Structure 1
Amino acid sequence: MRSKYKWILSILCLFFFQVGFAQQKTLTGTVVEDGLSLPGVTVIIEGTQEGTQTDLNGKYSISVKPGQTLIFSFIGMKDVKYKVGAASFYNVHMVAAGEELEEVVVMAYGQTKAKNEITGNVVAVKGEVISQTPVASVDQALQGRVAGLQIASTSGSPGAVQNIRIRGRNSMSANNEPLYVVDGMPIITDNLSGAVDSDGVATGTSLSALSGINSDDIESMTVLKDAAATAAYGARGGNGVILITTKKGKRGEPSYSLKTSVGFQNFARKGPKFLSGEQKKELWLEANINSFGKEEGFNKDNVWDWYVGDYGNDGLVQWVNNGSVNNDWRKAVKNQDALVASVSLGVNGGDEKGTYYASLGHDKYEGAVIGSDFRKVTGSFNMTRNLNEKLDITIGANVSNIKQNGIMEGGAYFSNPNLTGMFMSPWAPIYAEDGSYNLDTPAGLHNSLYTSKHNSIVNDITRVISNNAIGYKILDDLKFESSIGLDYTLSNYSQYYNPIHGDGKAYKGSASQDEKRIFNYVWQNSLNYRFYLGDSHRFNVKGVMEYQKNKFNRLQGRGEVLPPGMEGLGTAAANFTTFADYYDWSQLSYLGMLNYDYQNRYLLDVTFRREGSSRFSKDERWGNFFAVGGAWNISSEAFMDSAHAISLLRLRGSYGTTGNSTINPNMYMQLLEPGTYNNESAIIAYQYGGPLGWEKQEKFDTGVEFGFFNNRLTGSFTYFQSKSKDLLYQRPLSMTSGYEAQWMNIGDMTNRGIEVELNYDLFRGDDFNWSIGGNVGTVKNKVTNMPVINGETVKVLGSYNAIEEGKAYGTWYLREYAGVDAQTGNAQWYKADGTKTTNYNEAEVRYQNTSALPKVTGGVNTHVDYKGFYMDALFSFAAGYSVYDGWASYTNTVNSRSLYTYNGTTELMDRWQHPGDITDVPRVSTGGNANYTSPSTRWLYDGDHIRLRQLTFGYNLKKEAVKFIGVDGVNLAVSAMNPFTWVKDKRLKWDPEVDATGFVEMATPPLKSVIFTLNVKF
C-alpha cells in the first residue's frame, strides 16, 4: 500500500515538474535605441526578483516561462514590457523616458530624439491632428499650428498649390517654399498641373504635389526652422524643412481602422456684392446725365425716354424690354454645397522580427465653382524586417492617382467661371428663350455654364514614392545603412475647347495634350556610430554620402478643327504643333553629424555638409554649410531638485549656414533655342548666362523652453535672425541687349523675429479635461544690400511695389489716395508737399511701410473632453500686411467699363452725387475719372484677420458599447473648416488669404466646409 502511494506521489511530482519547469526556456535578444545596441539595460521578470542585464553588445539571455512578463528598464529610457509567448528571440526598441511615445520627434536623416534632447527649433504635429483636418492637401493642416509658418492660398480649388513661408521670405527670385522630405526622401513639390505657359506660370488650376498623400497615412509632420535642425539638408533647407513621416506597423496581432467622411463646402467669405440689373441701370443712366445731360437737355425725370431714343437696341434697352429679369451670374457659377467624401482602410501588425502597415484610400472633392473637382486614389505599404541579428530591411511605397478637373483661373481668361461671375453684366441672360444656354454674350465674354460642360481641362497624375533601405550592424555600436528613395510622376494634361462657343470657336475646336515624366531618386549611404565614455558622456556620430538626380521629360501637342463629338488630339484635322523639353540636374553631398550628451544635461550638435550642384557654374558649384547647436537642460541639474514647481527648464541656441539652390537648371549658361525665320529652321539666342553660385544664409536662433506644475503650463520663447547673401536674382536687362533678364548673385536680405508658444491645462481629471494653447510668430524683413551700378544703388520700382535697400522686400509703392473732392466729385491723390490734386500724374509715389508678407502670424487652440465627448477649436490669425485688388480697374470703374461693358460692385452705389457729399467713390460718367482705378492706396487693403480655422465636436463610444458591438473603438465627429472669418479692414470684401504676391486673383477663394466622420478600429 505504501508503495502504491509512492507511485502516485511520483506521478504528481512528475506532473508538477512538467507544468512548473518543463515549460521554462531561454529567451534571447538585443536591446537597441535608434537601431544601435544599448548596454546595461536591466531585464527582470515582473513580480519576481529574477533578472539580468544586457552586455556591452546590448544582448541579453534569460530563463522564462510563457505567459510571464519581462520589464526592460534603463536610466533615461521609457520602460518596455513584453509578455513572453512562443518565440525564443525578441529584440527590444527603447525610447527616451520623460516623454510619451508621441513626443519622440523625427529629425533629419532618420534621427529620433525626445524633446529634451533637441538643440534646434523644431515643431512636431501629430498624425492624428493631420488626419482630423479634412483638406485635399496635407500641408494645409499646418496653418495656425506652427509659430512662424504662414500659408497663402493660390486657389481654393481642390488640390491647388498653397504658398508656405517659414519665417518669412528668404530669397528675391529663387523659390521660397520649404523642402519636403517624406520618410527620408526629398521629394519634388513643383506645381504638377499642365496648365502653365512657356515660362512655367500657371494659366489654370494648380495641382499640389502633396495632394497625393493620404492624410490617414501620416504618423507626424515635423517643421524644422533653424540651422541646427535644417543644416543637414544644406542649401535645400534654407527655407525650412517639413518632414513627413508615414505610419509604420506595430508589433502584435493585426489591427484595422476604417474611416469614412462626407460633407459639403462653399466660399469661406461671400466676397463683394455685384450690381443687380436695376442698380446698374440706375448708375448708367446717371452717368449719361452727368456726361450729356446739360448739352442734350435731359435730366433724371426724362433720361429714359432720351436714352431709348438714342440707344434703341442696346443691352440695357433689350434687358428692360425682356422684363428686367436680374441675371445673377455670380450665383450661377457657384457650385453650392459642393460634396466632399472620403474613405480609407488601414491595417498594421507585426512580430518580434518586423512590422507591416498597409492602407487604401479614396477622396472626392467637388469644387465650389462649376467645372472643378478632384479625385484621388491612394495605396500605401510599409514593412520592416530583421533578417537576422545584424541585417534588417525597410520597404515602403506610396502610390496615388489623381484626376483633377480644373478651370482657367487666376487671370483674365474669358472661360474662367470666377471672371464670368464678376464681369458678366446682369443684363445678359444666362439662358436663351428656348431654355438652352445663351451663347450671344456681350463684350466677348463666354458663358461659363456652357464652356464648363462642353470644354475639358484635366490633370491625370500617377505618382509613386518609394523608400527602401538595408541596414547592417558591423559592430554592436556601428551600423551601415544604404537607402534609395524613388519618386516617379507620370503626368497627363489634356485640354479640349469646343467649336461652338468660347476659346475654341475661332479654331473650329482645339485640343492639346501634355505628357510629363519626372523621375527623382536619392541614394544615401550612411555610417552611424554610438559610444559612451564612462556613464555620463554619450556620443552619436553619423556620416552620409548622398546623391540626388532629377530627370524631366515633356512632350506636348496641339491641333485644331475637330469633328463634332470628338475631343482627342488625334482627331484634330489641322494646324498641328508640337513641343518637346528635357532637362536634368544632380547633386552630390557629404554630410557629417555629431551629437554629444552629458547626463542629459548638456547637449551639443555639430553638422557639416559639403555639396555640389549642377545648377551652378563649374567654379561656383561646391558649397559648404554647417551648424552648431547646444542646449542646457537646467531642470536636470541637482540644484533644481528643490524647485518642485519647475518640471522643465532648458536653454538652447544654434548658429549655422544654409542656402538656396531652387532655380531652374542651366540658368548660368548661354542658351540657344530652335526657331523659324522666313519659313526656315533657325537658331535663336534665348538666354544670357554668366557666373552663378549658391545663395547663402546665416541663421541664428536662441530660445528657452519651460514647464511648470508637472507640465501643466508649458511653453517656449525664441528669437531668430536669418541673413541671406548673394541672393539669386533675375535682374531685368535693357531690351537693347536682346534678352529680358539675367540670373545673378546680387543683394542681401535679413529676416528677424520672435516666436512664442504657450499651453496650459486648465483642468486635468478622469472625466473632465480642458486645455488651451497658442503660438505667435513675428518676422521683420529688410533688403540690406543692393548692387551699385554706374555709381548708383539699384532700385527695382514697379507699378505696385518696389525693391530698395533698407525696405522690406516688395514694399507697396503707390500713389496715396486722398478721397473725393466734395465739390466736384473727382478723385484726388496726395502730392509730395501734402496737398491734394485731381491730376493723377502730379501725385507722389510713396512707400506704404507694408508688404504682402504678414509681420505677425499665429494660432490659438483649445480642447475639452468629458466622458467621451470632446470639442476642439483652432483659430489662426495674421497681421501687419496688405493685399491689393488689381481687378478694380474692371469691377470698380466709375465709367462705362464697369457701368455698361462689364459689371461693378455695389460699392459704386456710394458714388458722389451732389456738392458736399463725403465719399470715396467719385462721380460716375460714361468716360471720366479713368485714373480712379489706377494703382493707388485706394485699392490697398489691410489684410489683418482672425479665422476660426477648425471646430470639431466628437464622441468616443464607451468601452462597454464598443465591446458589445465587437470592435476596439468607434469615434463620431463633425468638423467645420473656416466657418468664421473676422477682417479688420471693413472695406475688404475679398478673402484676406491671397497668394504670396499679395494680389487678389480671379481664382477660387478659400473654402469653408462641414464634414461628418465615422472612425472604427477593430
Structure 2
Amino acid sequence: MRMINKILLSLIAVLCLDATVTAQNKQVSGTVTDPAGAPVVGATVLVEGTTIGSTTDASGHFSLNAPEDAKLNISFIGYEPQQVDVAGRTHIPVSLKEDSHTIDDVVVTAMGITRSEKTLGYSVSTVKSDELTKARDGNVLNALSGKVAGVNISSSSGTAGGSSRIIIRGQSSLGSSGQPLFVIDGMPVSNQSYDPGNAGSALSGAAVDPGNRMGDIASDDIESINVLKGAAATALYGARAKDGAVIITTKKGSKNQQTSVSINSTMRFESVLRLPDFQNSYAQGVPTTGAYSYGYQNGWGPKIEGQTVKNFLGQDVQLRAYKNNVKDFYQTGHTYINSVAVSGGDDKNDFRLGLTAHNQTGVIPNNEYDKYNVSFNGGRKFNDKLEARISFSYAHTTSQGRPAQGSNDVNVLVNQINAIPRTTDINWLKNNWYAQDGTTVTQASVDEAGKTGNLYWTVNKNKNTGTVDRMFGSAVISYKPVKGLTITNNLGTDFFEEQRRQIYAWGTVGLPDGQFNTNNITYRQINNDLMISYDTTFGKDWSFKAMLGHNINQNFTKYLDVTAKNLLVADIYSYANAESVITTNDQAKSRLIGVYGEIDLGYKDIVYLSVTGRNDWSSTMPKSHRSYFYPSVSAGFVFSQLIPQNDVLSFGKLRLSYANVGSDTVPYALDFLYTPESSIFLQYVGNNSIPHGGLLAYMAPATYPDPNLEPQNQSSFEIGTDLRFFNGRIRLDATYYYNKTTKNIVRLDVANSTGFFYMRKNAGTITNEGVEIMAGFTPVETRNFSWDLDVNFASNRQLVKKLDPSITSYTLSAGFNSLQIKAAEGEPFSLYGTYWMTDDEGNYIIKDDGTRAVSETTKNLGKVAPDWTMGISNTLRYRNLSLSFLIDVRYGGVMYSGTVSDLRVNGMAEETIGKNRTDIVDKGVKQDGTENTTAITPYQFWSNNYSSKVSEANVFDATFVKLREMVLSYQMPQRWFKNCFIGSLALGVEGRNLWLMKSNVPHIDPETNIFGPSAVGSGVEYSAIPTTRSWGFNIKLTF
C-alpha cells in the first residue's frame, strides 16, 4: 500500500508541477468532502451571522471573503452540519459526516413538486445519482434492478443496446403493457419500443430487439430518480400514470459556484453470462438410425470415437468434439462510456453542459451500438419575483447487427448457433460463409439439402441497422407576484425519428431473391402545465399549501413500413431495386386536457393531510364519457413528535392514502377506419390486384367500436409506516397496498354474423395486493470503518376477479403450439398450454408407441409473475476505500423456454445422453392402467416428449439469485491535491450481472424475456440473445 501511495503521489506531483495557489488575506477557500474523501457538490458554506456564502463546485471547492476570526457553517442534505473556525487560515479542508439516517429528505413528487419526505402520505422510493453511475449501464432502467421494492426490471436480450421492461406493483390491466409514466424535469417522455408488425399479442414470429426509448438517456445527466408507486402519488398526472410514475430530475449547476469540470470514464469487457450445457459425445446424423451425416444440424448421430468422415466442406476429417465451438462464436464485447460536464454559476445564474459518448460492441460479431448525448440545464433568477429555467437533451444513436430472436425467420441467430454440431470446427464456418459462382455470391449451406445456411452469412451480410435522433426538454418560468403566491408554466416537448432496416441479402438460404424491410417512426409529444400555488402558515402551528393547474398533452405518431421483395441486383437496398414493394402508412394523434388541484395542511410537524383532484378530457373516448374526474387523499402522522426524546425510537410515522384514477384507450379505437388494400383473394379470378377496374378497395374494420365505452378505473388503498431506531442505525419502511382495476378496456371475440370479428368494450376486474418492506442497518460505524446493509422486499398477489359474462378467460398473448398467456377468473396472469396426461395418482399415461400422451386441451401451467422479490445491498468503507455489492433475488413464477426445447429435441443438450443413449422405458402407465414396458430410442423420447408441442415440458420455475452489481473504488485523499488543479480523483473496478448464483431453468438465463416494454405479458423466451456479464474499470476526475 505504501508503494502504491508513493507511485500515485509521484504521478499527481507531475500533474500539478505548474499549478499554484495564491492566497489573499481576506479570501478563504477550501474543499468539502465526504467520509471517503469524495467531493461534496452543492454544499452550502455560510459565514456565521452574515449573508456571505458560497456553494461547493464539482470538485467540492468553495471560495469566499471572510474575517480572520469568522466561523463557517457548512451544510448539505444527508450530512450532519458542521462549524469550523477560520482562525486566520486561507485554506480550510472540511470533512462532513454522513447523516444517512436523516428524517427530512426532500423528494420530487407529481408535477415536479418538491416535498419533505416526512410530510407524504404515500410511499416514494429514491435512487440518487451515485447509485445510478456506480456501475453505469447503457440502459438507465437496468440500474434500478434490485434497488427499489415493488419494481421489476427484465431484459429482453443481451443485444448491444437492448431493451428493458419495468413493472411497478404488478400488471394491473388487460389491455395495456403496464409501463409507468416517465417524466424528466416535468416533461412526460416516451419509453415505447414501437413494433407495428409484432405488437406483442403474438408469441411466435421473429423480432429484432430495437431497444426502448429510456435507453436514450445518459445516466451521468441524472441527479435522482423518484419512483411513485401508488395512485395517490401519481393522481395529479391522471390517466397516463395509472401504472405508476418514474420522475427523473437532471443535474444542474449551483449558484455562486466556480466553473468546474467533471469527467467520468468507464471501460468494460462483456461475455455471455450463461451458455447451454452441451453434450460432447455424439455427432450429427440421421435421428432414426444414428448414422453419421453432415446434412443434419443435431446431435443424434454416432458416438464420437475418431472415425473418419466427410464434413460439410467435403473434407475428410476425424470425428472429434469441439467443446468450445459455440463459446468461440461469441466474442468479448467492449463498452466505453465517457462523459464530461461543465457547470458553474453566479448569484443570478447557474448552468450545466454535459457530453456523453457510449460506444459498445456486443458479444455477437458485428453487433455494434453507439450513443451520443448532449444535455444542457440552465437557470436565471431575474429578481426576487421572476425565475426561469431551460433544460434539454439531444441523443443520437446508431446500431447495426441487432440479431433476430424468436422463430420462423432465417435470420434468427440463436437457432443457428445452438444447432452447430459438436463435431464442427467454428473456423470452418467462419472461413467458408459464402459460395461464389462466377460473379454471384450466395450463402454457403452447411447441409446436403442446401436448406441450412452458414450463420456467419447472417452476421456479415444480413446486418440489421437502426438510427434514432431524439430531443426532449422543457422551459419553465416562475413568477411570484406576492409573498407565498407562485405562478409557474412548464412547456416541454419530446420528439424523435427512428429508422430501422432489416436485411435478407440476395442469396440468403430460404430467401434467395433477397428482401429488406424498413420502418420509419416519427413521434412527437407536446406538454404544457400551468400551475398557481399558494404557500402560507397560520400562527405557529398550521401550514397551508394550495395548487391549481391546467394541463394539455398532445401525442402524434407516424409509422411508415416498407417491405421490398425480390432484389434485382445484389447488395443494393433501394426500393427501385425491388421487384415488389409493399407500403403501409399509419398515423395516430391524441389529445388530453386536464385540470387539477391540491390542498395540503400541516399541524405542528405532526399531522399532514393532502387532498387532490383531477378532471381529464380525452380525445380517444366517446363524447358521453370523454370527461372523467378522480380524487385522492393521503395523510401522514409523525407520532414520534408526541413521544419524549429517547435513544431507541428516533423517528416514527404512519401514512395512509386512497385514490381513484381513470384512463382512456388508444387513438381511433372508436372510429370506423377503412384501410386501403393492394390485393384481395378472389377464387377463380385471375387478376385480383387493386385498383381493379379503375376502382380502389378498402378493408372494413375488424373491431366494432362500442359508442358507450367508459374509462378504465383504478382505485388504490395504501397504508404504511416509517421507523428509525438508535439514531437511524436501524431503519424500517413497510407498506401494504390494495389496487383494484375495473372496467378494463379489452377487445373481445364476437360472432362473425355481426360483420365484425371483435368488439372493444369494458370488461374485467383485476386486483393487486402486496407488501413492500425496506430495511436498513448500520451494524458498524467508526471514524475509519462503516458497514451499511440495505434490504428491500416486495410481494404482490395479482387476481383476475371478474371478466365479461360471455367468457371465463381472456387471451393476452398466443402462439407456439397452443402456448398462451391468459387472464382467467380466480387466477393471476398465467401460462396456459398443452400438458402430459396423467392418471389420478399422477403417473404419466404412456401411449402404445412408448411416448407420453399429450392433452388436446390446455391448462394453467403457472403464473408468470414472481411470488416475491428481494434486493440485498452491502456497502463497506474503510477510509478512502469502498466496496459495495448488490444481490438480486426473484422467487416463484414460471417461464417457458423455446431454446431449451430446441436443445433437447435436437439432441444437443447434455441431459439427452442419458445412459449412453441406450433405449428408454419411460416411467408411467398405459391407458389400461398397467405399467409401461415399451422401450423407445432417446431420439423418440426427447423429440416427442419435449417438443414445443408439449408446453408443460418446457415450463420451469423462474426463481433466480444474481450478483447484480459489484464496485470497488478508491478515492484519492483530498490533501494530495491541495496545490493542484485537480479537485478530486477516484479509481474503481466495477462489474454488472456478474454471477447467476441460483437458477432452476437449464441452459439459459431465466431473466430473458421475449416481450419488449410495449408488449402485454411476460414469462416467455425463445431463441433470445444470451444476456451478458461485464466487468471493467472506472476513473472519475474533477477540476
TM range (shorter): 0.7 to 0.9
Displacement of 1:913 in angstroms is 2.9
**Partners of 2:671 and 2:126 in 1: how far apart?**
41
Quote the residue 2:154 is aligned against: 152
Mapping 1:911-950, distance limit 5 Å: 913-914=918-919, 923-925=937-939, 930-933=944-947, 934-950=949-965
Describe the superposition over 1:471-501 as per-residue Cα deviations: whole angstroms up to 9, x where unpaired.
Answer: 1112121111111111010112233332133
Mapping 1:88-103, distance limit 5 Å: 103=105
C-alpha change, 1:195 and 1:1015, in structure 2 (3 Å) is: farther
Matched, 1:536 2:547: no
From 684, 690, 694, the equivalent of 2:706 is: 690
**Partners of 1:859 and 1:845 in 2: how far apart?**
39
Matched, 1:871 2:902: no
C-alpha change, 1:162 and 1:98, in structure 2 (3 Å) is: closer
C-alpha change, 1:974 and 1:595, in structure 2 (3 Å) is: same
Q: Secondary structure at the match of 2:1020?
A: coil
Displacement of 1:831 in angstroms is 3.6
C-alpha change, 1:802 and 1:145, in structure 2 (3 Å) is: closer
Q: Secondary structure at the match of 1:669?
A: coil
Quote the residue 1:234 is aligned against: 238
Q: Secondary structure at the match of 1:475?
A: coil
C-alpha change, 1:740 and 1:330, in structure 2 (3 Å) is: farther
**Partners of 1:434 and 1:370 in 2: how far apart?**
11
**Partners of 1:304 and 1:761 in 2: how far apart?**
58
Quote the residue 2:348 is aligned against: 353
Quote the residue 1:363 is aligned against: 358
Quote the residue 2:603 is aligned against: 598
**Partners of 2:607 and 2:641 in 1: how far apart?**
9
> 2:957 is matched by which residue type in structure 1?
D
Displacement of 1:737 in angstroms is 5.6
TM norm structure 1: 0.82
Mapping 1:820-839, distance limit 5 Å: 829-831=837-839, 834-839=842-847
**Partners of 1:813 and 1:196 in 2: how far apart?**
21
> 1:217 is matched by which residue type in structure 2?
D
Displacement of 1:181 in angstroms is 0.7
C-alpha change, 1:190 and 1:50, in structure 2 (3 Å) is: closer
**Partners of 1:1013 and 1:374 in 2: how far apart?**
20
Q: Secondary structure at the match of 2:207?
A: coil
Kept in 1: contact 2:127–2:225 (CA 8 A): yes
**Partners of 2:115 and 2:564 in 1: how far apart?**
57
Quote the residue 1:458 is aligned against: 465
Displacement of 1:336 in angstroms is 2.3
From 355, 364, 371, the equivalent of 1:376 is: 371
C-alpha change, 1:202 and 1:765, in structure 2 (3 Å) is: farther
Quote the residue 1:267 is aligned against: 272
Displacement of 1:318 in angstroms is 8.5
Displacement of 1:50 in angstroms is 11
Matched, 1:124 2:126: yes
**Partners of 2:1028 and 2:200 in 1: how far apart?**
30
**Partners of 1:631 and 1:479 in 2: how far apart?**
25
C-alpha change, 1:1000 and 1:556, in structure 2 (3 Å) is: closer
Kept in 2: contact 1:277–1:327 (CA 8 A): no
From 867, 870, 874, the equivalent of 1:855 is: 867
Please say which of residues 144-153 and 904-913 is displaced more in the overlay.
904-913
C-alpha change, 1:734 and 1:884, in structure 2 (3 Å) is: farther
**Partners of 2:80 and 2:301 in 1: how far apart?**
87
**Partners of 1:257 and 1:318 in 2: how far apart?**
56
Quote the residue 2:17 is aligned against: none
Q: Secondary structure at the match of 2:166?
A: strand
CA RMSD of aligned residues (A): 3.9
Kept in 2: contact 1:169–1:176 (CA 8 A): yes
Describe the superposition over 1:895-949 as per-residue Cα deviations: whole angstroms up to 9, x where unpaired.
Answer: xxx25xxxx3222112673577879996335799635423243222111111110
**Partners of 2:222 and 2:103 in 1: how far apart?**
16
Displacement of 1:563 in angstroms is 6.6
Describe the superposition over 1:544-585 as per-residue Cα deviations: whole angstroms up to 9, x where unpaired.
Answer: 100000112233434355576743425625323333221111
**Partners of 2:920 and 2:66 in 1: how far apart?**
100
**Partners of 2:513 and 2:990 in 1: how far apart?**
47
> 1:527 is matched by which residue type in structure 2?
I
Quote the residue 2:412 is aligned against: 416
Please say which of residues 603-612 and 921-930 is displaced more in the overlay.
921-930
C-alpha change, 1:948 and 1:915, in structure 2 (3 Å) is: closer
C-alpha change, 1:410 and 1:740, in structure 2 (3 Å) is: farther
**Partners of 2:978 and 2:461 in 1: how far apart?**
53
From 645, 649, 655, the equivalent of 2:648 is: 645
From 725, 728, 745, the equivalent of 1:711 is: 728
Describe the superposition over 1:770-825 as per-residue Cα deviations: whole angstroms up to 9, x where unpaired.
Answer: 11110100011110011212xx74565973456465433332345554xxxxxxxx
Displacement of 1:441 in angstroms is 2.7
> 2:869 is matched by which residue type in structure 1?
T
Kept in 2: contact 1:714–1:760 (CA 8 A): yes
Displacement of 1:532 in angstroms is 1.2
Matched, 1:991 2:1006: yes
Matched, 1:183 2:185: yes
**Partners of 2:453 and 2:369 in 1: how far apart?**
24
Matched, 1:518 2:532: no
Mapping 1:187-266, distance limit 5 Å: 187-191=189-193, 203-251=207-255, 252-266=257-271
C-alpha change, 1:568 and 1:929, in structure 2 (3 Å) is: closer
Gaps of at least 5 residues in structure 1 are 1-22, 24-42, 52-63, 85-96, 289-299, 818-828
Q: Secondary structure at the match of 1:336?
A: coil
**Partners of 1:285 and 1:581 in 2: how far apart?**
53
Matched, 1:962 2:977: yes
Higher helix fraction (1 or 2):
1
Describe the superposition over 1:489-516 as per-residue Cα deviations: whole angstroms up to 9, x where unpaired.
Answer: 0112233332133465223xx3443322
Quote the residue 1:553 is aligned against: 558
Q: Secondary structure at the match of 2:213?
A: coil
Mapping 1:896-907, distance limit 5 Å: 898=906, 904-907=908-911
Percent identical pairs in the alignment equals: 21
Quote the residue 1:809 is aligned against: 828
Kept in 2: contact 1:589–1:612 (CA 8 A): yes
**Partners of 2:890 and 2:805 in 1: how far apart?**
35
**Partners of 1:997 and 1:239 in 2: how far apart?**
16
C-alpha change, 1:124 and 1:321, in structure 2 (3 Å) is: same
C-alpha change, 1:504 and 1:102, in structure 2 (3 Å) is: farther
Displacement of 1:440 in angstroms is 1.5
> 2:513 is matched by which residue type in structure 1?
A
From 1003, 1023, 1026, the equivalent of 1:1002 is: 1023
Q: Secondary structure at the match of 1:132?
A: coil
Kept in 1: contact 2:766–2:801 (CA 8 A): yes
**Partners of 1:381 and 1:636 in 2: how far apart?**
42
> 1:522 is matched by which residue type in structure 2?
N
Determine which structure has greater relative contact order: mean sequence separation of CA pairs < 8 Å that are 6+ residues apart, divided by chain length: 2
**Partners of 1:327 and 1:607 in 2: how far apart?**
66
Quote the residue 1:882 is aligned against: 894
Displacement of 1:329 in angstroms is 9.1
**Partners of 2:941 and 2:922 in 1: how far apart?**
21
Kept in 2: contact 1:99–1:114 (CA 8 A): no
> 1:517 is matched by which residue type in structure 2?
T
Quote the residue 2:746 is aligned against: 729
Mapping 1:370-769, distance limit 5 Å: 370-405=365-400, 406-426=402-422, 435-437=431-433, 439-442=444-447, 444-502=451-509, 505-507=512-514, 510-560=515-565, 562=567, 566-569=571-574, 572-637=577-642, 640-661=643-664, 663-675=665-677, 676-677=679-680, 678-679=688-689, 680=691, 681-688=696-703, 689-691=705-707, 692-734=709-751, 739-769=756-786
